[in-house]
C-alpha cells in the first residue's frame, strides 16, 4: 500500500492525534477549496531562486512597449502617459478564470507567472536577464525577448529618472545594499490604502469618477473664465492628475467587465454543468457590479477588494498587503449569513478561503535582495483581524472567526493574520486564534491593541479615533486607514541592517563586504579606555546609518509625486480626489514613517560582552578583541566561546544586558524625534527581521557576541538569540517588558517557539491564555509563535516531498518550511522551544 493510500484510510481523529494538521485540512475542506488550493503556484523564492516552473511574465513589458511607442506621437503629460500605459495593459492583458473559482483576477497573464514591469528599473531588468531559472519556455527565444525589453527600456525607466535626483554619495551607499534595503521609489514598497474612503460601502469607482469629472470641469472653467492670477497656476497640474485618475478608474471598470464577459461566455457557451453555469453567471454579475458600484454581498465585497489590490499591483510592485478584512467585509457576512441567510457558514468559509488563495497566488518578480529577505513568500500580506471600532468597542465579528477557520482549511503561508488583542476580545475568538497556532500556521501573531493605539498617538500624533482604525502596513507597523493617517508608500529603503552599527564601531565605519566607507569615521577602537567610549562610537554609527536611510527616503518621498506618480492609488484616496495632488505628496499626509530595524539584538549582546569581558572583568584588551574580530574569530575559538557563554545575553531577565538594550533603544528614540519625515513627523525604530537575518548573514562580519561572518543573525525584533534564552519564557517576557513599548519605538517583534504536545487540548489553551496574560500585563506589543516540533522539522528536511505543507513562522511572516533555504530552516530549528505553565 502506498503512503498516500494508507493516509486516505486514516481518520481525521487519528491525523489530529498525530498533529498532522495539513492532512486534516485536506480531508476536511470542501472539494472546491481543495481544488483551488492545489491549483495555485507558489510564488515565493527559496534563497534567491523561484520554485521550479514559476516563470517571469513578459506580457506587461511587450504591451508597455507598444503603448510607449504609440505615446510618442502624443504630447501627454507624464502622469497621463503613465496612466495610459497601465490602462492599455488592463485592456489587453490575458485573463483567465480557474475552474471552480468564484473570485477572479490575477496580476500576471497566466497562473504560473510572476509579473514584471520593465519600466521600473534597469537593475531589476538586468537581474531578470541574468536569472537562471525563471525565463519562460522556449528559453532561447524568451532570452531574446527579455534582452529586447531590457534594451528598449534602458535609460527610460523610473530608476533612471530618480537616481540623478539623489545625493551621489548617499545613493552609492544605499545601492551597495550593505545597510539598507531597496530603492526609494513610490512604486516599490508598501502601499497603505484609504479604506475608510473606499471600503465602507458609501462609494465605488463610478461615484469617484463622477466626482473627478466634476472637479475637472470646475477647474477648467476657472482657468478659462477667471482673471489670470498665480492662484490658478496649480490647476493645470491638478487637472492632469485628476484626468490620470479617471483613466485608471475607467480602465479598472473595463477590466472587470472583461471578466464579466468571459464568465458569461463560459457559462452560456461552454459549461455543461448546471451548478457551475450558475456560479459563472454569478461571477459575471459580480464583475458587472464591482468595482464600478458598491458591493451588495460578501462575494461582491471580496471581489471588489481583490480588484482594488490587483490594480494597485499593476501600478506598483507592492511588498505588502495592508488589510483589515473582517472589519470591512464583516457587514456583508453579517447580512448574507446571519440576516438574509443567502449563504451557509460553510459557503461563506469557502468564499473567504478562496479569497486567501487568490491573495496567496499573487506574484511579482522581486530582486534577489527581496527574494532572500522574504523567502517563501511574495510579500508580507499580514492581514489585521479584531481590534476595536472607532468608539473603542470590540470590533471582532463572525467574519473574524470565519477567516481563522478558513485559514486552517486552506493553510496558505501568505496572507497571514495578526490579531489585535484587547481585554474585551471574546474567548471564542481567542480560541480560534489558538487553534490556528496549534495547527502550526504560525499565525495569527498577537498584537496588544491598547499599547499600539497609544503608541500611534505618541509617535505620530494620530487622533484616537483614527489610531483605532490601524492595520499592519507591512509585517508589523500599525497605520491608520484614514484620509490623512494612511501612508501611501512606505519605501523599504528605510530598513536598517542594524548589526552594522556595532560592526562599524570596530571597523571605524568601513564595510569590508562592499569595500566602502559606509559609516562614520569614529575613533580607533583599540584605544578605547572605557565603555563610555564604545557607547559614543555606537551612537555615532547609529546616527550615521539611520541618518543616511532617512535622508534618502525623505528625498524619495519629496520627489515622488513628480518622478513616479501613482494615479491609481491617488484615485482611490480621498485626499487626492479632493485636492488633485498625487497621493504621495507629503503635504497631504500626517506622516507615519518608521525605520525597520533588521538584526537589532546583536547590538545589545555585543555591547554587553565588550563591557563584561573587556572593561569589567578585564579578561581581554580591546586590542585582542579587534584582532579576533578582524580574523573573523579564526584562531580565537576559545575566546569566541568566552564572549558567547560568559557574557550576559538578552532574554534572560538579566539587568546587566537588559539595561544596555534599553539604553540603545532610548538613544535611537532620541534621534527618532530629531529626524523628521517630509510631512514633519517622527521616525521611530521598529525592530523586526523577516528573513533579513539570513540575507545579511554573509554581509555582516564577526561581532563581539560571538558570531562569525556567515552565521545566521538572530531571528529578529527583540527576540533573544536562538538558544541563548536559557531561563524560560517568563524571563524572556520580563526582559522584553523592560522596554517601554509606547515610547521606546514603534513596535517590537518577539518570536517564541512552543511545544505542540505540551499545548495540546483544553489544558494547552488555558496555559497559552495564562502566558498571554503575563505578556499583556508586561505591556509587550507583539508576540508570535511557532508550534511545530524539531522532529517534524528535521523530518521535513530529510523528506521534503512528504512535508510540503508544513508551515513555520519565520519572522513577521509565515512560510512553508520546504520553501525556505537550508540555513533559514536550521535557524528556525535552533530557536529554543519554551515550556510554559
Partner 1 sequence: MQCMECGFEAPISGYRYLYNARIDASVAMRQCPACQAWLAVDQLNEKPLQAVGPGQAPWGKSAGIENLAEDR
Partner 2 sequence: MSRRDELRKVQAGRLSAQRAPKATQVKAEKICGLCSNYSEGAFSGEGAGSCRILKVKSDISADPPKYDLESTDGYQTMNLMDAGKCQYYEKMSFVDKDGTECSDPRYRRSMRQMQD
To the nearest whole angstrom, how small is the minimum distance from the Cβ of residue 45 to partner 2?
A: 8
For residue 257, the partner it binds in partner 2, partner 1, none, with Cβ less than 5 to 8 A by kind, is none
From the list partner 2, partner 1, none, which binds 586 (C-beta under 5 to 8 Å, kind-based)?
none
In terms of CB distance, is 277 or 823 closer to partner 1?
Answer: 823
For 247, 576, 582, 612, 719, the CA distances from 242, given in Å and listed in that order, are 9, 8, 9, 62, 46
Name the one range near partner 1 by CB under 8 A: 124-132, 141-149, 263-271, 639-647: 639-647
Q: Single out the segment in contact with partner 1 by CB under 8 A; choices: 121-129, 425-433, 541-549, 718-726.
A: 718-726
| Torsion of the alpha carbons at 414, 365, 714 and 814, rounded to the nearest 10 | 10
> For residue 246, how many C-alpha atoms fall within 13 Å in the half-sphere facing its CB?
16
Radius of gyration of the chain (CA): 26
Q: CB-wise, 104 or 694, nearer to partner 1?
A: 694
Q: Is 168 in the site for partner 2 (CB under 8 A)?
A: yes
- Spell out the residues 6+ positions from residue 705 whose beta carbon is closer than 8 angstroms to its own: 602, 605, 606, 609, 643, 644, 647, 649, 721
State in angstroms the smallest separation of the CB of 648 from partner 1.
13
Residue 707 in the binding site for partner 1 (CB under 8 A):
yes
123 binds partner 2 (CB under 8 A): yes
**47 and 371 in contact (C-beta within 8 Å)?**
yes
- Considering only 43-51, 53-61, 484-492, 632-640, which stretch makes contact with partner 1 by CB under 8 A? 632-640
Q: Least distance from C-beta 691 to partner 2, angstroms?
A: 8
677 Rama class: left (phi>0) / alpha (psi -120 to 50) / beta: beta
Interstrand relation of 471-472 and 478-479 (parallel, antiparallel or unpaired): antiparallel
Q: Could you tell me which stretch among 290-298, 512-520, 760-768, 828-836 binds partner 2 (CB under 8 A)?
A: 512-520
> In this chain, which stretch among 155-163, 376-384, 469-477, 635-643 interacts with partner 2, using CB under 8 A?
155-163
| Residue 277 interacting with partner 1 (CB under 8 A) | no
Residue 800: contacted member of partner 1, partner 2, none (CB under 5 to 8 Å, by partner type): partner 1
Smaller CB distance to partner 1: residue 60 or 650? 650
> From the DSSP assignment, how many helices (H) and strands (E) are in the chain?
35, 21
Of positions 86, 150, 569, 811, contacts partner 2 by CB under 8 A:
150
Residue closer to partner 2 (CB basis): 68 or 510? 510
> Is residue 178 within the footprint of partner 2 (CB under 8 A)?
yes
Q: How far is the CB of 556 from partner 2 (least distance, A)?
A: 16
Our finding on whether 233 is near partner 1 (CB under 8 A) is no
Q: Does 376 bind partner 1 (CB under 8 A)?
A: no
Q: Confirm or reject binding of residue 368 to partner 2 (CB under 8 A).
A: yes
* Binder among 46, 209, 357, 647 for partner 2 (CB under 8 A): 46
How do beta strands 814-816 and 807-809 pair?
antiparallel
Contact partner at residue 122 from partner 2, partner 1, none, CB < 5 to 8 Å by partner kind:
partner 2
Does position 126 interact with partner 2 (CB under 8 A)? The reply is yes
For partner 2, the binding residue among 455, 672, 821, 834 (CB under 8 A) is 821
Nearer to partner 1, 624 or 789 (CB): 789
Residues 826 and 712: beta-carbon distance below 8 Å: yes
Question: Is there binding between residue 505 and partner 1 (CB under 8 A)?
Answer: no
Cα-Cα-Cα-Cα dihedral sign, residues 547, 494, 571, 562: positive
Rounded distance between C-alpha atoms, residue 341 and residue 226, angstroms? 57
**Pattern 434-473, partner 1, x by CB under 8 A:** ----------------------------------------
Contact 89, 314 (CB under 8 A): yes
Q: Taking CB under 8 A as the rule, does residue 225 contact partner 2? A: no
| Grid coordinates belonging to 24 | 486534516
**For partner 2, which is the closer residue by CB, 169 or 424?**
169
Options 130, 645, 766, 804; binder of partner 1; rule CB under 8 A: 645
| Binding site partner of 148, from partner 1, partner 2, none, Cβ cut-off 5-8 A by kind | partner 2
Q: Per CB under 8 A, does 124 bind partner 2?
A: yes
Span interacting with partner 2, options 2-10, 470-478, 691-699, 798-806, rule CB under 8 A: 691-699
Q: CA–CA separation, 141 vs 342, rounded Å?
A: 51
- The answer for residues whose C-beta is within 8 angstroms of residue 82's C-beta and 6 or more apart is 244, 565, 567
Residues 740 and 362: their CA atoms lie apart, in Å, by: 37
**Rounded-to-integer distance, Cα 809 and Cα 433, Å:** 14
Site for partner 2 in 543-562 (CB under 8 A): none
Q: Do residues 597 and 688 touch, judged by C-beta distance below 8 A?
A: yes
- Work out the number of other CB atoms within 10 angstroms of the CB of residue 662: 17
Distance between CA 192 and CA 198 in Å, rounded? 12
**Selected binder of partner 1 within 306, 453, 542, 836 (CB under 8 A):** 836
Q: Does 372 bind partner 2 (CB under 8 A)?
A: yes
Residue 176 touches which of partner 2, partner 1, none (Cβ within 5-8 Å per kind): partner 2
Among 20, 409, 705, 751, binds partner 1 (CB under 8 A): 705
Residue 229 touching partner 1 (CB under 8 A) = no
Q: Give CA–CA dist 284/290, Å, rounded.
A: 10
155 binds, among partner 2, partner 1, none (CB under 5 to 8 A by kind): partner 2
C-alpha cell at 563: 518622478
Task: CB nearer to partner 2: give 513 or 774.
Answer: 513
Cell of 66: 507598444
Pick from 234, 206, 47: which is nearest to 133 by CA? Answer: 47
Query: Can residue 822 be called a binding residue for partner 1 (CB under 8 A)?
Result: yes
Quick one: 94 exposed, middle or buried, by C-beta within 10 A (0-12, 13-18, 19+)? exposed
Phi, psi of 290 (to 5 degrees): -110, 150
Q: Of the listed pieces 29-37, 101-109, 287-295, 361-369, which binds partner 2 according to CB under 8 A?
A: 361-369
Closest alpha carbon to 297 in 97, 103, 573, 481? 103
Q: How far apart are CA 541 and CA 519, in angstroms?
A: 6
Among partner 1, partner 2, none, partner that 779 touches (CB below 5 to 8 angstroms by kind): none
Looking at residues 720 to 749 of the shown chain, list those that interact with partner 1 (rule: CB under 8 A).
721-731
Asked if 517 interacts with partner 2 (CB under 8 A), we say yes
Q: How far is the CB of 650 from partner 1 (least distance, A)?
A: 13
* Residue of 513, 624, 755, 789 that binds partner 2 (CB under 8 A): 513
* C-alpha torsion angle, residues 305, 306, 308, 312 (rounded to 10): 140
User: Does 130 interact with partner 2 (rule: CB under 8 A)?
Assistant: yes
The Cα–Cα gap between 531 and 647 comes to 15
Which of 470, 463, 780 lies closest to 594 in space, CA to CA?
470
130 burial (CB, 10 Å; 0-12 / 13-18 / 19+) is exposed
Handedness of CA 305, 311, 312, 318 (dihedral sign): positive
Site residues for partner 1, 755-814, by CB under 8 A, read 755, 757-758, 789-790, 794-800
Do 306 and 325 touch, CB atoms closer than 8 A?
A: no
- CB < 8 Å & 24+ apart, contacts of 94-100: 94/59, 95/258, 95/259, 95/262, 97/259, 97/262, 97/263, 97/266, 97/280, 97/283, 98/36, 98/39, 99/35, 99/39, 100/32, 100/35, 100/36, 100/276
Binding site for partner 2 (CB under 8 A): 46-49, 122-127, 129-133, 135, 144, 146-148, 150-151, 154-155, 160, 163, 168-169, 171-172, 175-178, 367-369, 372, 375, 510, 512-517, 691, 694-699, 710, 821-824
Binding site for partner 1 (CB under 8 A): 634, 637-638, 641, 644-645, 697, 705-712, 721-731, 755, 757-758, 789-790, 794-800, 822-823, 826, 829-836
Amino acid at each position: 500500500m502506498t503512503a498516500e493510500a494508507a493516509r486516505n484510510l486514516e481518520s481525521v481523529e487519528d491525523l489530529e492525534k498525530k498533529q498532522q494538521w495539513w492532512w486534516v485540512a485536506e480531508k476536511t475542506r470542501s472539494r472546491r477549496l481543495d481544488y483551488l488550493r492545489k491549483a495555485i503556484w507558489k510564488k515565493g523564492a527559496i534563497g534567491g531562486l523561484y520554485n521550479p516552473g514559476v516563470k517571469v511574465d513578459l506580457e506587461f513589458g511587450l504591451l508597455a512597449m507598444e503603448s510607449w511607442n504609440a505615446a510618442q506621437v502624443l504630447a501627454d503629460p507624464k502622469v497621463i502617459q503613465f496612466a495610459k500605459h497601465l490602462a492599455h495593459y488592463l485592456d489587453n492583458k490575458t485573463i483567465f478564470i480557474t475552474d471552480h473559482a468564484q473570485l477572479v483576477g490575477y496580476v500576471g497573464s497566466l497562473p504560473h507567472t510572476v509579473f514584471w514591469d520593465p519600466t521600473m528599473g534597469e537593475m531589476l531588468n538586468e537581474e531578470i536577464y541574468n536569472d537562471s531559472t525563471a525565463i519562460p519556455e522556449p528559453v532561447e527565444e524568451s532570452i531574446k525577448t527579455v534582452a529586447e525589453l531590457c534594451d528598449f527600456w534602458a535609460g527610460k525607466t523610473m530608476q533612471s529618472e530618480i537616481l540623478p535626483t539623489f545625493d551621489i554619495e548617499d545613493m552609492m551607499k544605499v545601492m551597495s545594499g550593505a545597510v539598507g534595503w531597496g530603492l526609494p521609489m513610490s512604486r516599490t514598497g508598501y502601499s497603505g490604502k484609504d479604506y475608510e474612503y473606499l471600503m465602507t460601502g458609501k462609494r465605488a469607482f463610478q461615484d469617484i469618477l463622477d466626482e473627478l469629472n466634476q472637479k475637472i470641469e470646475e477647474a477648467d472653467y476657472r482657468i478659462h473664465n477667471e482673471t489670470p492670477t498665480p492662484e490658478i497656476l496649480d490647476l493645470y497640474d491638478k487637472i492632469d492628475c485628476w484626468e490620470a485618475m479617471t483613466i485608471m478608474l475607467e480602465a479598472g471598470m473595463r477590466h472587470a467587465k472583461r471578466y464579466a464577459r468571459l464568465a458569461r461566455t463560459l457559462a452560456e457557451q461552454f459549461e455543461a454543468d448546471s451548478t457551475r453555469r450558475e456560479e459563472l453567471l454569478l461571477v459575471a454579475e459580480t464583475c458587472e457590479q464591482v468595482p464600478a458600484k458598491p458591493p451588495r454581498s460578501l462575494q461582491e465585497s471580496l471581489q471588489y477588494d481583490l480588484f482594488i489590490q490587483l490594480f494597485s499591483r499593476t501600478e506598483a510592485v507592492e511588498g505588502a498587503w495592508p488589510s483589515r478584512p473582517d472589519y470591512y467585509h464583516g457587514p456583508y457576512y453579517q447580512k448574507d449569513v446571519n440576516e438574509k441567510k443567502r449563504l451557509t457558514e460553510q459557503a461563506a468559509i469557502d468564499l473567504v478561503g478562496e479569497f486567501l488563495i487568490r491573495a496567496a497566488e499573487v506574484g511579482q518578480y522581486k530582486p534577489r535582495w527581496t527574494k532572500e529577505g522574504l523567502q517563501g513568500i511574495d510579500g508580507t500580506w499580514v492581514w489585521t483581524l479584531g481590534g476595536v471600532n472607532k468608539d473603542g468597542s470590540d470590533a471582532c465579528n463572525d467574519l473574524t472567526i470565519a477567516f481563522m477557520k478558513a485559514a486552517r482549511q486552506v493553510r496558505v503561508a501568505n496572507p497571514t493574520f495578526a490579531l489585535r488583542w484587547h481585554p474585551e476580545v471574546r474567548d471564542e475568538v481567542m480560541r480560534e486564534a489558538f487553534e490556528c497556532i496549534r495547527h502550526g500556521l504560525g499565525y495569527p501573531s498577537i498584537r496588544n491593541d491598547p499599547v499600539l493605539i497609544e503608541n500611534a498617538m505618541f509617535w505620530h500624533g494620530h487622533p484616537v479615533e483614527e489610531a483605532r482604525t490601524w492595520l499592519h502596513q507591512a509585517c508589523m507597523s500599525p497605520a491608520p486607514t484614514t484620509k490623512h493617517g494612511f501612508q501611501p508608500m512606505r519605501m523599504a529603503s528605510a530598513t536598517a541592517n542594524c548589526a552594522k552599527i556595532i560592526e562599524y564601531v570596530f571597523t571605524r565605519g568601513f564595510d569590508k563586504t562592499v569595500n566602502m566607507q559606509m559609516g562614520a569615521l569614529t575613533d580607533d577602537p583599540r584605544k578605547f579606555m572605557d565603555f563610555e567610549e564604545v557607547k559614543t562610537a555606537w551612537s555615532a554609527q547609529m546616527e550615521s546609518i539611520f541618518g543616511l536611510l532617512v535622508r534618502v527616503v525623505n528625498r524619495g518621498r519629496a520627489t515622488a509625486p513628480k518622478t513616479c506618480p501613482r494615479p491609481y492609488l491617488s484615485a482611490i484616496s480621498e485626499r487626492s480626489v479632493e485636492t488633485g495632488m498625487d497621493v504621495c505628496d507629503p503635504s497631504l499626509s500626517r506622516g507615519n514613517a518608521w525605520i525597520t530595524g533588521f538584526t537589532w539584538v546583536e547590538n545589545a549582546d555585543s555591547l554587553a560582552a565588550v563591557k563584561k569581558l573587556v572593561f569589567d572583568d578585564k579578561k581581554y584588551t580591546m586590542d585582542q578583541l579587534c584582532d579576533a574580530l578582524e580574523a573573523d574569530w579564526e584562531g580565537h575559538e576559545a575566546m569566541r566561546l568566552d564572549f558567547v557563554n560568559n557574557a550576559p545575553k538578552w532574554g534572560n531577565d538579566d539587568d546587566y544586558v537588559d539595561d544596555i538594550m534599553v539604553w540603545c533603544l532610548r538613544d535611537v528614540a532620541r534621534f527618532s524625534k530629531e529626524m523628521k519625515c517630509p510631512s514633519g513627523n517622527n521616525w521611530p525604530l521598529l525592530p523586526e527581521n523577516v528573513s533579513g537575518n539570513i540575507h545579511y548573514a554573509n554581509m555582516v562580519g564577526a561581532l563581539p557576541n560571538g558570531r562569525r561572518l556567515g552565521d545566521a543573525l538572530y531571528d529578529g525584533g527583540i527576540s533573544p538569540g536562538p538558544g541563548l534564552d536559557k531561563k524560560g519564557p517568563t524571563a524572556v517576557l520580563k526582559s522584553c517588558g523592560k522596554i517601554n513599548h509606547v515610547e521606546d519605538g514603534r513596535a517590537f517583534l518577539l518570536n517564541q517557539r512552543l511545544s505542540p504536545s505540551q499545548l495540546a487540548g483544553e489544558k494547552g489553551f488555558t496555559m497559552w491564555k495564562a502566558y498571554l496574560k503575563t505578556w499583556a500585563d508586561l505591556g509587550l506589543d507583539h508576540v508570535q509563535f511557532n508550534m511545530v516540533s524539531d522532529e517534524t522539522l528535521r523530518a521535513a528536511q530529510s523528506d521534503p516531498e512528504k512535508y510540503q505543507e508544513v508551515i513555520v513562522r519565520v519572522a513577521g511572516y509565515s512560510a512553508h518550511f520546504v520553501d525556505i533555504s537550508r540555513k533559514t530552516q536550521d535557524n528556525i530549528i535552533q530557536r529554543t522551544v519554551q515550556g510554559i505553565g
